[in-house]
Structure 1
Amino acid sequence: MPLSASLSSRLRLPLIAAPMFLVSGPALVKAACRGGVIGSFPTANCRTSEELEAWLDDLQDDLARTADATGRSPAPFCPNLIVHRSNPRLTDDLASVLRHKTEVVITSVGSPEPVLKPLKDAGCLVLADVASVRHAEKAVAAGVDGLVLLTAGAGGQTGWANPFAFTRAVRAFWKGIVVMAGGMADGHAVAAAEALGCDLAYMGTKFIATQESMAKDAYKAMLVRSRLDDVLLTRAFTGLETNMLRPSIEAAGLDPANLPSRGAIDIAKDINAAARERPDARRWKDIWSAGHAVSGVSGVPSVAELIERTAAEYAAARRSMQLVET
């Protein structure tokens, strides 16, 4: 497995709590890391670069205290840098990440090349979101350490590829870290991803419906009520293929069957505070995303409870695989 022994020893599960826009905050990230799962968050969830500094300070301090109290290093936290040219804060956010000597970083919405050298020079493990084999090949050529495969089941901005075919196509030319994103409904799915040749899995939707997430209570309740058939793939709100919840679209007074091909507001680009607070943006704040794993959301547990349950499922799946092998 390409993961280093020092990193693997700190993980209870080969899992990343996925970075989720306006959902992943310090409470969720810290709880995930304490539970032995990599906790990630988009740096765009901080309204300013100064707020990002405060988040990073808080995360480092909390995890250091956890290590002192338990005698065991928790899993690392992982900022997600939006590297698209429309992100006006990329330079400042990158500088903050480098100052804090972050162990792992995810890059998304564009080529990782502009940030790769400084991150690698700082000893950071760089994982790049990719949605096609061509994008994977370009990221590998740029020098990333790992690939996050966005498959058709991912919530928010998603991929189109079948996870089985995508993983095997990438493994044909890449021996580095592979992370599967999309459809991680439980520990059985995590074990299946590992059996396919992945080193880690992303779990997003189920972490939205936890007590520590920044999601609104109504959003969490809608996830509990929803199932896979309530997930709609559309370009209407971001201009990119995005998995969204039909009930939230209907609640906004829109007909999911008659959405524009592209919405007036590009959520992927509205990453600064001024854009989020525009009056014409408010309508979109309660249109929520979810992945295909939504059918697995049955309640709103704490992050610790979710990890405990997922770990038990993962262990059961691994035992089943071993029985088949013998």
Structure 2
Amino acid sequence: MALPPILQNLKLPLIGSPLFIISNPDLVIAQCKAGIVGSFPALNARENDGDPILLDQWLTRITEELDRYNQANPDSPAAPYAVNQIVHRSNARLERDIEICVKHKVPVWITSLGARAEVNEAAHSCGGITLHDVINDRFAHKAIEKGADGLIAVSAGAGGHAGALSPLALVQEIRAWFEGPVFLSGSIATGDSLLAAQAMGADGGYMGSAFIATTEANAAEAYKQMIVDSGASDIVYSDLFTGVWGNYLKPSVAAAGMDPDNLERSDPSKMDFGSGSSKPKSWKEIWGSGQGIGAVKEVVPAADLIARITREYHAAFDRLSGQVSHYR
């Protein structure tokens, strides 16, 4: 099955994943102009009581800047943007944020922590498509049954909330029955790993952690530097901080006074995403990251990072083509 029209003209088969706190209009606009889908969690746009609704302002800015860019570059238009909705029952803003996204005709909706038919229907009502993130085949079936157009397969090694399955196994099981859009999440930080995702059967990749170390990202400089300085062995997998299993930087856990190799288990019933994260404020500097960050060597503009990924992707294709031709 061909990708939906909205995803057919990307310059690179890649979605910049929505990063809690970190993804903002600056990063999303830079990603889209460079030819990949830029995204942000709706809950990142937070205002004080009585202030104008920030999500409305963000979507207006993103839409207007990308429209201006497209008018000036008709032969090389920007990629579409996406908004991530946390569909957990504790998200009291969900209904309001859905209405705002419908008003702005958001083209791509990414849903997390629950598959709900009414959210998919809202996206379809304004011409959008929905991609639901899943960590196993059972959740994938549920998402498609409830009307999602495609899937984000979140495998072992992904940043933030992550699954435990090998990307090889996860994509294989989904592709046994589903022909629609599938984007793979899990340690994708190079053009080589992006091409590997497609070789497995995914339509493209879903990359987040590498974008933390970009100039546009709304992350502390210490967080960005920790991404640059760390590798796969510096990641710990735990459910302590949000009630959902995820990957975190060991040095940030240690800095909070805990032993990253001996963490307690959480109580999932206490998850509360009403403010965007269920982490206590005392854990706000425990930083998420995927296992692919060994490829991140410096903090750069998002466009430069995407340019590197693009070069690597084409070089990997050329190299692999030569290798495969040997066996034909």
Q: Output the TM-score relative to the length of structure 2.
A: 0.93
Instruction: State the distance in 2 between where 1:90 and 1:166 align.
Output: 29
Task: Tell me, yes or no, if the aligned pair for 1:112 and 1:128 is still in contact at 8 Å.
Answer: no
Matches within 5 A, 1:160-239: 160-239=164-243
Distance change (3 Å), C-alpha of 1:64 and 1:148: same
| 1:260 partner SS | coil
Count of paired positions: 320
Distance change (3 Å), C-alpha of 1:257 and 1:7: closer
Could you give the per-residue CA deviations for residues 168-188 of structure 1, whole angstroms, max 9, x where no partner exists? 110000000001011102000
Alignment of 1:64 with 2:67, yes or no, is yes
Identity between Structure 1 and Structure 2 (%): 39
Q: Tell me the equivalent position of 2:254.
A: 250
Q: Tell me the equivalent position of 2:151.
A: 147
| 1:147 partner SS | strand
Amino acid at match of 1:66: Y
Cα offset, 1:196, TM superposition: 1.1
Could you give the per-residue CA deviations for residues 197-253 of structure 1, whole angstroms, max 9, x where no partner exists? 111211111001101000110000111111101100011101111101110011111
Structure 1: 5+ residue stretches without partners: none
Q: Tell me the equivalent position of 2:7.
A: 7
Task: Tell me, yes or no, if the aligned pair for 2:90 and 2:273 is still in contact at 8 Å.
Answer: no
Instruction: State the distance in 2 between where 1:96 and 1:155 align.
Output: 28
Task: Tell me, yes or no, if the aligned pair for 2:231 and 2:293 is still in contact at 8 Å.
Answer: yes
Q: Tell me the equivalent position of 1:112.
A: 116
Task: Tell me, yes or no, if the aligned pair for 2:153 and 2:185 is still in contact at 8 Å.
Answer: yes
| 1:319 partner SS | helix
Q: CA RMSD in A?
A: 1.9
Matches within 5 A, 1:79-98: 79-98=83-102
Q: Tell me the equivalent position of 1:318.
A: 317
Match of 1:159 among 144, 163, 180: 163
Instruction: State the distance in 1 between where 2:133 and 2:216 align.
Output: 25
Instruction: State the distance in 2 between where 1:318 and 1:249 align.
Output: 38
Structure 2: 5+ residue stretches without partners: none
Q: Tell me the equivalent position of 2:282.
A: 283
Instruction: State the distance in 2 between where 1:182 and 1:21 align.
Output: 17
Instruction: State the distance in 2 between where 1:168 and 1:81 align.
Output: 27
Matches within 5 A, 1:125-140: 125-140=129-144
Cα offset, 1:270, TM superposition: 4.2
Provide runs of 4+ in structure 1 moved above 3 Å.
Answer: 4-7, 263-266
Instruction: State the distance in 2 between where 1:256 and 1:50 align.
Output: 38
